[in-house]
Structure formats: C-alpha cells, structure tokens
C-alpha cells in the first residue's frame, strides 16, 4: 500500500522522495536501520493530503527533524519518514520571530543574536530543529522552549491546521502536549524574545560554546544528554559515582568526558546504545533507587 503513496508523490512531484534510506545518516548517534522511504514535503497542503492518506491506509509514518533526540532500531522501518526541511522560513516582526518547524535551532539562536535579540542563548548548543525542540521542550541553563514560545501551528491527522497558545502546549520539563498528541505535527511557531545587548549575547554564547567543547564529547556522534536529571540530582554525577565513565558496550561508550553522554566510537549499533542505556538504568536503580528517564525517543523497537 505504501507503494501507491510513493507513486502518487512521484507522479504529482510533491517534493523530494527517496527510497531505502540509511537512517544512521540522519541521526546524530549515527545508528539505525533502513527506512522504506523518506519524503520531503514542500507545502502544508500536500503534507496534509499525504498524512490523511497514510492514516486511511494505516501506513506507519514518523516526522523526523535533525535526528538529535531519537534512537531508531537496527531493523528496517517499513513506513514513511517525513522530513520538514523545506519548512524553514523565518520572519522577524517586532520582538517576535515566526519560524518554520524545519529551521535549525542552533542557526536560529545565532541569527537572533545577530539581530540583538535575547532569549535563545540557551539553544545555541542544541542541534535539533525548531519543531523537534518544541515537541520535547528542549532546554539548557535553566531555560527551555516553554519560556519563549508564544504559539504553535500544528497539523492534525484530519488535515486541519490549528494554532495552540503557550498554555495549551502544556510545557513541562522536557515535555509538551505533543508527546501525548502524537498525531499533531508542528508546522511553525511564534517565539517571543527581548531586545538585548548584541555584544553581551554573543559573548555569553561564545563562553558557553567553549565550556561545551571542554566538558562534552562533541568530537563523537551522540544525542547529547541521555537522561533527564532526577529531582535534586544530576544524572551524570550518579553515573560517574558508579565508576561507569569509559564503559564500553560494542561500539558504544559512556563518555569519559561527561557520564550523561553515550557516544558512538565509530561502529556502534542502535542495540549497543540501547543496551548501554538499560544497563545504566538498572545499575542506578539498584544503587540509589532512582529511575532515570531517557531523554531520547526509541522508534521502531518491538
């Protein structure tokens, strides 16, 4: 049935479409199996029509941003991966910026700094898309998307575009309403920023970048922090205190620089990463009776 949808997109020339895609090239962990097809829609209208069709035919699909917070299994993903790279418009109006879901969050933070806007400094080291960052309420330095999102435009499975205000998004630590409403797809968002001192903003971002280079294993593929920080604890400290820095499983390793990072040494499988995550969770629970919650999402695992 998915062949019919692929043929329709190709015939109507509704954006770029690629078959048998290696997902390890589209995730920051650099792991994952093949996907049956990857589609890059070019308009909201066409996206809406294909989403309705996929739902009607009960075909599995997954919207993928920059792949910085997902772990696909090593198995074939027998469905459609949807990439919103074309949804990358950005317009500044006063102290607000309307930006497409496919826009790079890092790029946006630097663009806003150039225009002298404060509020996105925390995002300068988060390698995701705007849509993905809103979905999981990405954050750092005691800030997150929930503080700056004014409203979000989403596409429903019925093909309707609706707007959700900040309070309707139900932002909490590393979560939003989108994690419950899996059928909502972020199209764009309006962020509310403040005018600031351009030089001070850029200096702060530069300082934080230097600190990240010094304390995080940025030279290896990873997905950033693996676990959420439990209340009154730091996940990295709990793992480090167990002596797990440098621990290797297959081609995956708990970083020697930062214990809340798992890195791909070059030949890791998705299974290596997942098993290392589960080992850490069990060990931390056995020692501290704390359940570590994973920040990344597992996709296509039985």
The DSSP call for residue 42 is -
Contacts of 98 (CB under 8 A, 6+ apart): 89, 90, 91, 188, 189, 190
Tens digits of per-residue pLDDT, 166-184? 999 999 999 999 999 999 9
Structural Rg of the chain based on CA atoms = 20
Mean pLDDT taken over the chain: 97
For the stretch 26-75, pLDDT in tens is 999 999 999 999 999 999 999 999 999 999 999 999 999 999 999 999 99
pLDDT of residue 262 exceeding 90, the answer is yes
In the prediction, which pLDDT does 224 show?
95
Catalytic residue among 73, 176, 255, 295: 295
Q: What is the mean pLDDT of residues 250-279?
A: 98
Active site residue 174: yes
Can you tell me the distance from the alpha carbon of 61 to that of 52, in angstroms, rounded to the nearest whole number?
11
CA distance 172 to 189: 17
Q: Give me the domains of the chain, ranges plus CATH numbers.
A: 2-83 (3.30.43.10), 90-200 (3.30.465.10), 217-299 (3.90.78.10)
Rounded to two decimals, the pTM is 0.94
Question: Which member of 46, 151, 174, 192 is catalytic?
Answer: 174
Residue of 24, 176, 225, 255 with catalytic role:
225
Which pLDDT tens digit goes with each residue over 135-163?
999 999 999 999 999 999 999 999 999 99
| Segment 186-211 mean pLDDT | 97
Query: What pLDDT does residue 101 have?
Result: 98
What's the pLDDT tens digit per position in 1-13?
899 999 999 999 9
- Count CB neighbours of 209 within 10 A: 13
Residue 302 has pLDDT above 90, yes or no: no
Distance CA(60)–CA(73), nearest Å, equals: 15
pLDDT of residue 275: 98
Nearest one of 278, 261, 186 to 222, comparing CA atoms: 261
**Alpha-carbon span 289 to 227, nearest angstrom:** 15
Compute how many other C-beta atoms are within 10 angstroms of the C-beta atom of residue 245.
Answer: 17
């Amino acid at each position: 049935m998915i062949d019919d949808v692929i043929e329709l997109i190709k015939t109507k020339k509704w954006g770029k479409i690629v078959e048998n895609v290696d997902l390890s090239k589209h995730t920051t962990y650099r792991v994952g199996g093949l996907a049956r097809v990857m589609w890059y829609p070019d308009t909201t209208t066409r996206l809406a029509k294909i989403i309705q069709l996929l739902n009607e035919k009960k075909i599995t699909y997954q919207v993928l941003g920059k792949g910085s917070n997902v772990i696909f299994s090593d198995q074939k993903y027998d469905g459609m991966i949807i990439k919103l790279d074309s949804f990358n418009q950005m317009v500044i109006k006063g102290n607000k910026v309307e930006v497409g879901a496919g826009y790079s969050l890092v790029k946006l933070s630097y663009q806003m700094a150039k225009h002298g806007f404060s509020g996105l400094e925390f995002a300068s080291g988060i390698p995701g898309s705007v849509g993905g960052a809103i979905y999981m309420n990405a954050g750092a330095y005691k800030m997150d998307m929930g503080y700056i999102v004014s409203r979000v435009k989403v596409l429903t499975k019925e093909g309707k575009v609706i707007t959700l205000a900040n309070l309707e998004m139900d932002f909490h630590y590393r979560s939003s309403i989108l994690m419950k409403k899996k059928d909502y797809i972020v199209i764009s968002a309006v962020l509310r920023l403040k005018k600031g001192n351009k030089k001070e903003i850029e200096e702060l971002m530069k300082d934080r970048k230097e600190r990240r280079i010094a304390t995080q294993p940025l030279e290896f593929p990873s997905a950033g922090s693996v676990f959420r920080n439990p209340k009154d604890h730091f996940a990295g400290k709990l793992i480090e205190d167990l002596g797990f820095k440098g621990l290797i499983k297959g081609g995956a390793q708990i970083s020697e620089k930062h214990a809340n990072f798992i890195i791909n040494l070059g030949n890791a499988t998705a299974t290596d990463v997942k098993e290392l995550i589960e080992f850490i969770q069990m060990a931390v629970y056995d020692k501290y009776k704390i359940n570590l919650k994973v920040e990344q999402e597992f996709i296509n695992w039985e």
